[in-house]
Homo-oligomer: A and B are copies of this chain.
Amino acid sequence: MFQNFDPPTDPVTGDDRLKKLRKHMQSQGVQAVLVPHADEQRNEYLPANAERLAWLTGFTGSAGEAVVTDDRAVLFVDGRYTLQAADQIDGEHWEIEDYVSAPSNTWLARNAGANTQIGLDPWFHTANEVARIRAAAKDANASIKFLTENPVDKIWVDQPAIPAEPAHIHDSAFAGRTTREKMIEMDAALQKNNAKACVLTDPSSICWLFNIRGSDVAHTPITLAHAILRAGELPLLFIDQSKLDIETRAFLTQTADLHAPDDLVEELKHLSPDARIMLDPDLAAFAFTQIITDAGGTVVEAKDPARLPRAVKNDAEIAGARAAHKRDGVAFATFLAWLDKQPPGTIDEIEAAKKLEATRTNLAQMDTPSLPLKDISFDTISGSGPNGAIVHYRVTQTTNRILGDGELYLCDSGGQYDDGTTDITRTIAIGEPSQEQRHTFTLVLKGHIALSLARFPKGTRGMDLDVLARNALWQNGFDYAHGTGHGVGSYLSVHEGPQNISRRGTQELLPGMILSNEPGYYREGEFGIRIENLVLVRNATEIPDGDIAMLGFETLTLAPIDQRLIDTSILTDAELHWLNAYHGWVRREITPLVTEEVALWLKQATEPATRDLPAASA
């Protein structure tokens, strides 16, 4: 099993760790320290050795930060984690603040006394973050002191080692482009910025560029590494070489000078004098700025040059995405058919999640050669009834509940395959749904369809389209408090920038980008709804008599949408047509690849919908 359903680590009680930390702070001459939920490389999933915030506070959520001063200890979390944080920390020694309305820098500006020295580990804050903290410190007449060692590492006695799992070659049949080809774009970025070098700190960028993958962190097939691109010379790749077998090592030496991770700082110092060196101010640790500047170099702030090329999938990656989604669709249909046979009130969230993972693992042998599931792409969100309304719900033995009669079951999951990354959400009626559940589900579906059908001119950004997915909900006084879509990698991170569809989606959508289309609706304490397909940006089919070529989305995800939850009387003709065309496609593609039993279930699940009422009322 890739997913672990144990409850989060035992709560941290008492103040032993805080006392040790404060003693260490004293030895360093600082009166406050920051402990973010982050590793040196801004990975979404932290390696075990980087779970410093959890070890210190007991809080295991995916975002947060602690500030510890001589006499106070404050944990900053956002709204979705307030209850969980209160459960996990020791309230006698810790306070909780809201990360959004009162972030740590605002808190510091108000509470750090004059002349306080705030200790920062420059490996755990980006240049932009340091600038914000510095401004806050200035407002409080306090100052920043950069620490040479991480304060938590100094007191965490049984801290796990840095992971060193095997890395492997990402076959060119899946990658589609060689490192040499990708380097052309990297060299162009160096040239454009008139830079001698560029430090790549995001493992996703490095794995993409060098066509390698690994398993140092959960669910994202990256291997931890750093790289320095150099104008006119082979790039330097810093990676623990115990992770490389002979073939992978030989493969990498074709396009990079391999170095041990410990060489990184020295090599950068060596390169820096009088050099212009590119850093992404939102990704790179501030330590890099210090190293370059101290060695007499100039930092050129520029976006990670691999981000945009990585987001625009090539033909092989697109073909891979289609194949991976077909395979994933077979697993998902098999899961749904099984789920539908279980009488309401008989299975629980963990059983359902385990069954889904098992169907992905036991995929029928339809590919030659078959491509097995490498990992799930994130912990399955398996939420029934009120748990479905918790957007970032993670089921554990403690929160687990039965899928009850009359409830909605929300299941958000995905798989990692050599040829692509999937991410799908379906919401299933357990027993007979209420009219309210059907109404809100249909509004979410209308938004999902509006985005699926969108055509848009070149230059359109994700933010320009977000409203299409919300309009039907807004018309009825509803909304959802998350973005509509995130970028998705190619056998890489399931959350990939720079593309997204949300209020903040400033990136132009380009053919080849893969994004999710996942509007939702959440009624706290009652139920949650989300309908998610992945879509590929591509040239739209030509429009007769149209003036300009348009872009549009090709849906990749293949799985029935629960028709028991659709009120067809509020669908327009165009929406009904989309639904039936989608289900026809799912049936045609999946039926030949599943068992007869699943095929029978699929037939009824994809039956063309008709209207409940004689006249549409759109």
Contact = CB atoms under 8 A, between A and B. Distances in A.
Interface of A: 436, 450, 453-457, 461, 463-468, 471, 474-479, 503, 523, 543, 545-550, 572-574, 615-618
21 contacts: A450-B471, A454-B471, A455-B475, A456-B474, A457-B479, A461-B503, A464-B503, A465-B467, A467-B468, A468-B471, A476-B543, A477-B543, A477-B545, A477-B547, A478-B548, A479-B547, A479-B548, A572-B616, A574-B618, A616-B616, A616-B618
Given A454-B471, A463-B464, 4 more contacts: A464-B503, A478-B546, A572-B616, A574-B617
Contacts of A456: 467, 474
A401 B444 CA distance: 51
A465 B463 CA distance: 10
Nearest to A450: B471
Contacts of A455: 474-475, 477
Contacts of A475: 453, 455
A457 B479 CA distance: 8
Contacts of A547: 477-479, 523
Contacts of A503: 461, 464
Number of copies: 2
Contact of A474 (B436, B454, B463, B476): B454
Nearest to A461: B503
A509 to B, nearest CB: 12
A474 B453 contact: no
Contacts of A543: 476-477
A468 B465 CA distance: 9
Contacts of A464: 463, 466-467, 503
A504 to B, nearest CB: 11
Contacts of A467: 456, 464-465, 467-468
A456 B478 CA distance: 9
A572 to B, nearest CB: 4
Nearest to A574: B618
Contacts of A618: 572-574, 616, 618
Contact of A573 (B465, B523, B546, B616): B616
Nearest to A521: B547
Contacts of A546: 476-478
A453 to B, nearest CB: 7
A385 B317 CA distance: 49
A474 B550 contact: yes
Contacts of A615: 573
Contacts of A461: 503
A440 to B, nearest CB: 10
A13 to B, nearest CB: 38
A477 B468 CA distance: 17
Given A464-B503, A468-B471, A471-B454, A550 B477 contact: yes
A182 B329 CA distance: 62
Contacts of A457: 474, 479
Contacts of A523: 547
Contacts of A549: 477
Contacts of A478: 546-548
Contacts of A550: 474, 477
A573 B479 CA distance: 24
A109 to B, nearest CB: 16
A436 B461 CA distance: 30
Contacts of A572: 572, 616, 618
A617 B454 contact: no
